[in-house]
Amino acid sequence: MAQPQMRRAIESGVPDNQQFLHPLLKKNYGNWKYHDRPRPGVLHHVAHDGDEVWTVRAGTQRQMDVYTIRRLCDIADQYAEGHVRFTIRSNIEFMVSSFAKVGPLIAELETSGFPVGGTGNSVSMIAHTQGWLHCDIPGTDASGVVKALMDELYDEFRREEMPNRVHLSTSCCEINCGGQADIAIIVQHTKPPKINHDLVANVCERPAVVARCPVAAIRPALVNGKPSLEVDEKKCICCGACYPPCPPMQINDPEHSKLAIWVGGKNSNARAKPTFMKMVAAGLPNHPPRWPEVAEVVKRILHVYKADARPWERLSDWVERIGWPRFFEKTDLPFTKYLIDDWRGARVNLNASTHIRF
Ligand code: SF4
Ligand code: SF4
């Protein structure tokens, strides 16, 4: 008798997405005649052979329990055609092949608490890093900031009334997976790490920790007769890079870990070259569960941008046109010494970019 074939484990990489595509998307892959947006939150694709697909995009609370995911799958089975996909900003999209299904699908999604929108010149769902649920070094809950902020920006998600698309992101440490965005909310440590000398020798690979510091502020040291580490606090830029490989160098602090807001980042080459973000607000309290101080500043920047930018200006284009002094005047944000990048390694660091040369 033939032995059953064992499935070979796939150790790396994502599975081929073609097997999960809606049949019409698979059939017409790369062969579309045109697409348009009949209303916010709905994309309409027309293929050369006449096939049509309507995609309805909805927002979720990001980190979802299994019951919510089952509810979304039930909506997909009952009101769409059994296929969903998640966008890069974790919106969920439902595909249907007839316009008649679009209205009931939107009504069901909105009744179930999932707003439809996030397309075109809206404030799309905020990209966030993993936060308290998955990562071991966060200074805040990036996904919590997203939920709190999106509750406040609910209507801007459902409408396309911004001058251009607006991408926001939140990051729960300063050094790892944070993203570029038109407006980014990023943890900002303001004091050097506190070292638990009793644990360093047991837990930390000391040469690796010393090598990790970008400003060479960490040295091996003997403390109370035990091998440990010490930090030159005058050199330390409070980046937090030593904490992941050496948790006894605790840098998260309920009072001194703050949030900063950066603006003007853009990854794409559309219309203008990509841009780096600049910090415009520092030292905001890390204040769960609703982060009201952060929400207030983000909304202020968004409202001024919406009122003042010309059609199709991204946030970085708008600031470039009016200039940074006018940005601070118009948004009524204080310009302080904490916003000046005086790190002398920045010159070398920025030269690593393909777009900026000094
Ligand atoms: S941004 Fe930093 S703390 Fe947040 S998930 Fe990424 S590595 Fe972890
Ligand atoms: S926080 Fe950053 S700069 Fe300060 S000691 Fe640690 S790695 Fe070095």
Average pLDDT over residues 135-150: 87
CB 256 within 8 A of CB 188: no
**Encoding tokens for residue 99?**
């316009």
Q: How confident is the model at residue 357 (pLDDT cuts 50, 70, 90)?
A: very low
- Say which range, 44-48, 192-196, 345-349, has the weakest mean pLDDT: 345-349
**Encoding tokens for residue 83?**
């296929």
Predicted confidence at residue 208, as pLDDT, reads: 93
Predicted confidence at residue 346, as pLDDT, reads: 66
Q: How confident is the model at residue 86 (pLDDT cuts 50, 70, 90)?
A: very high
Is there an atom of ligand 2 within 6 Å of 238 CB?
yes
Burial of 342 (0-12, 13-18, 19+ CB in 10 A): exposed
Average pLDDT over residues 106-114: 97
Tell which wins on pLDDT, 140 or 9.
140
- Ligand 2: which residue has its CA nearest to atom 6? 242
Q: What is each CA distance from 344 to 95, 214, 237, 318, 350, in whole angstroms?
A: 51, 11, 11, 28, 11
CB 209 within 8 A of CB 202: no
Q: How confident is the model at residue 99 (pLDDT cuts 50, 70, 90)?
A: very high
Average pLDDT over residues 93-105: 97
- Say which range, 2-11, 24-33, 147-156, 310-319, has the weakest mean pLDDT: 2-11
- Measured CA to CA, the distance from residue 225 to residue 219 in angstroms comes to 16
Predicted confidence at residue 130, as pLDDT, reads: 83
Q: How far is the CA of 216 from the centre of ligand 2 (A)?
A: 8
Average pLDDT over residues 277-292: 93
Predicted confidence at residue 218, as pLDDT, reads: 96
**Is residue 151 within a helix (H) or strand (E), and if so which, with residue range?**
helix 142-152
Predicted confidence at residue 10, as pLDDT, reads: 67
Q: Using most ligand atoms within 8 A of CB, pick from 173, 194, 215 the residue to mutate for ligand 2.
A: 215
- Ligand 2 atom at minimal distance to the Cα of residue 189: 1
pTM: 0.88
Average pLDDT over residues 45-53: 96
Please give the share of the chain, as a percent, with pLDDT higher than 70. Answer: 94
Q: Give the ligand whose atoms come closest to the C-alpha of residue 230.
A: 2
Residue 16 sits at φ, ψ, to 5 deg, of -60, 125
For residue 252, give the 3-state DSSP assignment.
coil
- Say which range, 24-28, 130-134, 326-330, has the weakest mean pLDDT: 130-134
Predicted confidence at residue 174, as pLDDT, reads: 87
Strand order in the sheet with 84-86: 32-39, 42-47, 52-58, 92-96, 84-86
- Say which range, 109-113, 138-142, 238-242, 341-345, has the weakest mean pLDDT: 341-345
- Measured CA to CA, the distance from residue 204 to residue 251 in angstroms comes to 15
Written as one string, the DSSP assignment of 70-81 is HHHHHHHHHHS-
Is there an atom of ligand 2 within 6 Å of 123 CB?
no
Q: How far is the CA of 104 from the centre of ligand 2 (A)?
A: 54
- Ligand 2 atom at minimal distance to the Cα of residue 237: 3
pLDDT tens for 148-203 read: 999 999 999 999 999 999 999 999 998 878 778 999 999 999 999 999 999 999 99
Average pLDDT over residues 41-65: 94
Average pLDDT across the chain, whole number? 90
pLDDT tens for 311-334 read: 999 999 999 999 999 999 999 999
pLDDT tens for 234-277 read: 999 999 999 999 999 999 999 999 999 999 998 888 888 888 89
Written as one string, the DSSP assignment of 96-142 is ES-GGGHHHHHHHHHHTT--B---SSSBPPPEE--GGGT-SS-SS-H
Q: How far is the CA of 277 from the centre of ligand 2 (A)?
A: 22
- Measured CA to CA, the distance from residue 105 to residue 102 in angstroms comes to 5
Q: How confident is the model at residue 354 (pLDDT cuts 50, 70, 90)?
A: low
pLDDT tens for 287-305 read: 989 999 999 999 999 999 9
